[in-house]
Amino acid sequence: MSAQHPVVFVTRRLPEAVEARLTRDYTPVLNVDDTPFAPAELVERVVNAGAEAVLCCPTDKMSADVIAALPNKVRALATFSVGYDHIDLTAAKAHDLIVTNTPDVLTDATADCAMLLLLAAARRAWSAESLVRRGDWTNWAPTGQIGTQVSGKRLGIFGMGRIGQALAKRARGFDMEIHYSDLAPLPLDQEQGAVFHADPEELLGIAEFLSLHCPLTEDTRHFLDARRIALMPDGAIVVNTARGPIVDDEALITALRGGKLAAAGLDVFDGEPKINPGYLALENVTLYPHIGSATKETRDAMGFVALDNLDAVFGGRTPPNRVA
């Protein structure tokens, strides 16, 4: 990097340690109030800052129009996330804009969250805690708050990447039988006894628990729809810590309300932070506000990876996590 620190526009408030490194190595324009910017305001602030890079987050919709409006001096978009479906990569490439992400470092935290949601959904955690908090728990009952046994059940993992494999590792501790579907089978040493299903609908047919870990693409958008839910065993449980639009909300809500599915645990939603209000009336769904990576260790690491990428850009090197 040059003696004069590059100006980096930061769209959201970041962890203290990350902002400290930013301040040391760059001239950051920070979002002290942590208020998300509308697209036009974001562009205006980037222009006014004279920014040479933007450190953005999944809440920032970097559409083709936004990217086209960015000044030419902006060299990179470093997103504070592993997912980058909020960035129009085609537009970025057309404008010679480098795009980077932060993979690997959030694997364990997200897998922990998926396992937490799986257990919470199976054992009616939200319903049970609400009973206590409302003061409605009057006595122990043999038929009260009956959930679903986890141990020994078949877990279907749709998307067996780093997070899917990390979840499988945790689920084996509960003696779950691991099945998965992906574009190709894992090497045998990585499968560790998991059963591969080339056809994801075959996976659905045997999945007593289903955890979604695939990327959001046009092929996976609304993957879990009414037709595919009908393929699942009665009383199955769904967990989603990947991307909200992978699930057809109306279909999932109908299945939860009608008893086809016993429960669900969701950390991501289509259109978040606004969610389908149908979920709010259901006691058999656990709802988290997209906190899969929300540990201090993980969020610090994500920020440091984003800065490693920017260090490479301004140091004339190829960023380690370039996606465009």
Q: Measured between alpha carbons, how far is 54 from 78 in angstroms, rounded to an integer?
A: 6
Instruction: Look at residue 2 in the predicted model and tell me its pLDDT.
Output: 45
Q: What is this structure's pTM?
A: 0.94
- Pairwise CA distance, residues 184 & 196, whole Å: 8
Q: List, for residues 42-84, the tens digit of each pLDDT value.
A: 999 999 999 999 999 999 999 999 999 999 999 999 999 999 9
Topology (CATH level 3) of domain 7-105+296-314: Rossmann fold (3.40.50)
What are the residues whose beta carbons fall under 8 Å from the beta carbon of 98, sequence distance 6 or more?
75, 76, 77, 92, 313, 319, 322, 324
Q: What is the pLDDT of residues 161-213, one digit of tens each?
A: 999 999 999 999 999 999 999 999 999 999 999 999 999 999 999 999 999 99
All structural domains of the chain with their residue ranges = 7-105+296-314, 107-287
- Active-site choice (221, 290, 299, 317): 290
7-105+296-314 and 107-287 agree in CATH topology: yes
Active site residue 250: no
| Residue range 83-105: mean pLDDT, rounded | 97
pLDDT of residue 269: 98
Strands, E assignment, the chain? 7-10, 27-29, 53-56, 76-79, 98-100, 154-158, 177-181, 195-196, 209-212, 236-240, 261-266, 285-287
pLDDT of residue 187: 97
Query: How large a percentage of the chain has pLDDT more than 70?
Result: 99
Residue 290 annotated among the catalytic residues of the structure: yes
Active site residue 44: no
How many other C-beta atoms can be found within 10 angstroms of the C-beta atom of residue 97?
A: 22
Predicted pLDDT at 296: 98
Residue 14 binned pLDDT confidence (cut-offs 50, 70, 90): very high
Write down the mean pLDDT value for the chain. 97
Mean pLDDT across 112-116: 98
Selected catalytic residue, list 12, 197, 243, 299:
243
- Residues 40, 203: Cα–Cα separation, whole Å: 44
Confidence of residue 4 (pLDDT cuts 50, 70, 90): confident
How large is the angle between the packed helices 107-122 and 162-172, nearest 10 degrees? 50
Tell me which of 177, 222, 272, 322 is the catalytic residue. Answer: 272
- pLDDT for 3 equals 53
* Confidence (pLDDT) at 231: 98
Note the CATH architecture for domain 107-287.
3-Layer(aba) Sandwich (3.40)
Tell me the per-residue pLDDT of 244-293, one tens digit each, with 9 for 90 and over.
Answer: 999 999 999 999 999 999 999 999 999 999 999 999 999 999 999 999 99
Q: Which residue is it, tokens 């190709």?
A: 184
Condensed to tens digits (0 to 9), the pLDDT of residues 206-223 reads: 999 999 999 999 999 999
